Structure formats: structure tokens, C-alpha cells
Amino acid sequence: MNNKSEEQQITSVCQSLIPKLQSLEDERIKIRKYTRNFWLISLLVAGCTVCFLYMRQIADIVTWVSTAIIIVGVIVFYVLYVSGPLSKFSNRFKDEVIRALISSFLPDSSYKPDNHVSMNEYYNSALFKNSVDRYSGKNYVEGVVDKTAVRFSELHTEYKTTTRTKNGGTQTHWHTIFQGLFMIADANKHFNARTYILPDFSQRVFGGLGKWLQKNFGDSRGQVVYLENPVFEKKFAVYTTDPVEARYLITPQMQERMIRLADHVGGGVSASFADGKLYLAIVKKDGLFQLNTSPSLLNVNTLKYYANEITDILSVVHILDLNTRIWGKD
């Protein structure tokens, strides 16, 4: 699909969806009103309390108690008046907007907002060495893009470290391993080996020394393979358990496509071929389908933002040309 026809399709889909969203739009307006009232009332109460305490010169203990009461009151007020309605609106938004848009661009798909790619599949990709102490994600989608079965979700994986504090206690620190879009595509063939395409940080930072480090120290996932595209070599490092199969999979065309994908998403792309699947991890700090209650849902540009996000994800299949069954089963 060329850019012009894709843009026309996106516009058409969004326009057809607008007449069905009046009820949801009315709810959005109420949410905006609830949120505005919450902040106005909270600031007014806090301001009046501060002025009262200052004018009466009340003792510190009363000041702290009053402050605590205000904080607790604001939290309870938010949960009852804003958080509950906002949560219900978010669920309706995902069901009536995101689900409808996904179905339009990925027919016969499954969308589970609260699910994510399983930890077993994440570990099977072997794209990240750290063991995971906290694993979370959402917005799971499964379907078929032309001939290619895909499933993806946003994921956030973390490990923790513990340090001693000065008073003898402990403090836990959480560190991100991966945060972004995790996709699994059916490559329609069982691979005898495992091949990994990873961001080449060492060569990017150390240049020729980085290449020497790769060659002499390698990676526990396999031996390093050097390919003919110099741009690809600067962006990625390839490790494999079978160099012959790696060159069969990562053809000059695939190298160009991986470069294009990295440029398209702004870097931060890792991939692995294993068990007949292509695993892709694309760094993305912002979550998928983020709810914004500010713009009107009856504005086509609002819907096009989410539609573009969906088509942008699905475009990965076309960028990597996964529908060309060059490695199809016999």
C-alpha cells in the first residue's frame, strides 16, 4: 500500500467511526469537567487552609495534622470523583475506538487491552540477558498481516538491586531492561540455529576497538558474523550458532530493511530468529494507545493519531518484507 492510498484509507476509517462516538464524546466532556472541578476545589481548599493556619498562627502539630487531613481528603476526592469515571471512560475508549481501529486495519484480529506477550516468549527470544524481577505490559494484539501471523504488545521488564542505607536499612532500586513494543512474527520455517541482530553499541562507541572486542570476546548467544553492508555493520552486531544459516536469513535485502526499520523507529531495534519465529523488540518510552481526554473524539485528526499508531506498527511487516515467503516451508 502506498502512502497516499494508506492515508486515504486511514481518513475513511476515521470518518466512518465518528458517528458512533457521540455517547463516548459526551462522557469525555464530563470527565474534563470532573477533572477541572477537582483541581479548582482542591486548590481552593488548600489555599483557604493555608491562609487560615497562617493568620491564626496555629502550632506546628496542628499544621501537620491539618496538612495530612487535606492530603487524604484530596486523594479520596480524586478516587471517588475523578479516578472511577476516568477508568470507566478508558475502558470504553479502548473498546469503542482502539478495538474498532485495530479491526479495520487488521481484520479477524484479537485485542486484549489488559494482556501482554508471555514471559516465556520474551525469554525464548533471548534478546536480553538480564533475569527479570518485574514483568508487565498491556495492549496485546494478535492477527494476520496479509500472509504473516503476528502478535505484539507493549512490555516493560525490570531487574532490581538492593543497597544499604546509612541508617542500616535497605533500599530497592528498579532498572529497566526493556520498555517498548515487543512483536513476534511467524517466519514460516523452523530454523536449525539461533541468530540475533542486536544494536552495536561497542562499535558505535569504540569504533575499530569495538569490532575487535566483538571478534575476540563475542557473545554467549553465539559467534559474531560480519556482513557486507557497512551501514548495517555500524548499527548492528550479529551473533549466531550457525554462520551459514545466518547469512541465509540476513540477506543484503534484509540488511537494508533492518536499517530502514531502525531509521523509521529512531533506533533501538533488536531481533532474533528462533523456532520459526522472528522476535522484534523496539524501544518505545511512550506506551501504546495513550488516552488523552483533551481533544474531541469527533475530530477526525484525533482518531487519525491512533490509526497512524496502529498502521505504523503493522508497517514493520512490510518494511521487513515478511510476506515474501523466501523462507517458506517446503
pLDDT tens-digit map of 186-210: 886 777 889 999 998 544 433 443 4
Q: In which residue are the cell numbers 495534622 written?
A: 65
Residues 250, 252, 255, 261, CA torsion sign: negative
Contact between 26 and 320 under an 8 Å Cβ cutoff? The reply is no
Q: Strands of the chain (E only): list them.
A: 110-112, 134-145, 148-164, 170-186, 195-199, 223-225, 236-240, 269-274, 277-283
β-pair partners for 176: 158
Q: Which pLDDT band holds residue 321 (cuts at 50, 70, 90)? A: confident
* Residue 57 pLDDT exceeds 80: no
pLDDT of residue 54: 63
- Among the residue ranges 67-71, 214-218, 307-311, the one predicted with the least confidence is 214-218
pLDDT of residue 92: 95
β-pair partners for 181: 154, 282
* Residue 159 pLDDT exceeds 80: yes
Interatomic CA distance for residues 116 and 101, integer angstroms: 19
pLDDT of residue 322: 86
> Could you tell me if residue 218 is left (phi over 0), alpha (psi between -120 and 50 degrees) or otherwise beta?
left
Q: In the chain, what are the domain boundaries?
A: 3-190+275-319
pLDDT of residue 209: 39
Closest CA to 152 of 108, 107, 185, 193: 185
Between 220 and 129, residue with greater pLDDT? 129
Interatomic CA distance for residues 135 and 137, integer angstroms: 7
Q: What is the pLDDT of residues 61-115, one digit of tens each?
A: 666 666 677 777 777 777 776 788 889 999 999 999 999 999 999 999 999 999 9
For the residues 151-159, what does the mean pLDDT come to?
97
Q: Which pLDDT band holds residue 145 (cuts at 50, 70, 90)? A: very high
Predicted TM-score (pTM) of this structure: 0.83
pLDDT of residue 72: 75
What is the residue type of 58? I
Q: Which pLDDT band holds residue 45 (cuts at 50, 70, 90)? A: confident
Q: Which residues contact 13 (CB under 8 A, 6 or more apart)?
A: 101, 104, 105, 307
Q: What is the pLDDT of residues 12-33, one digit of tens each?
A: 999 999 999 999 999 999 999 8
* Residue 6 pLDDT exceeds 90: no
Indicate the average pLDDT of the chain.
85
Cα 148–Cα 325–Cα 263 angle in degrees, nearest 5:
70
Residue 238's H or E segment, with its range, is strand 236-240
Q: Which residues contact 286 (CB under 8 A, 6 or more apart)?
A: none
**Radius of gyration, CA atoms only, the chain:** 25
Interatomic CA distance for residues 148 and 285, integer angstroms: 26
pLDDT of residue 169: 84
* Residue 230 pLDDT exceeds 70: yes
Q: Strands of 41-123 (E only): list them.
A: 110-112
pLDDT of residue 208: 46
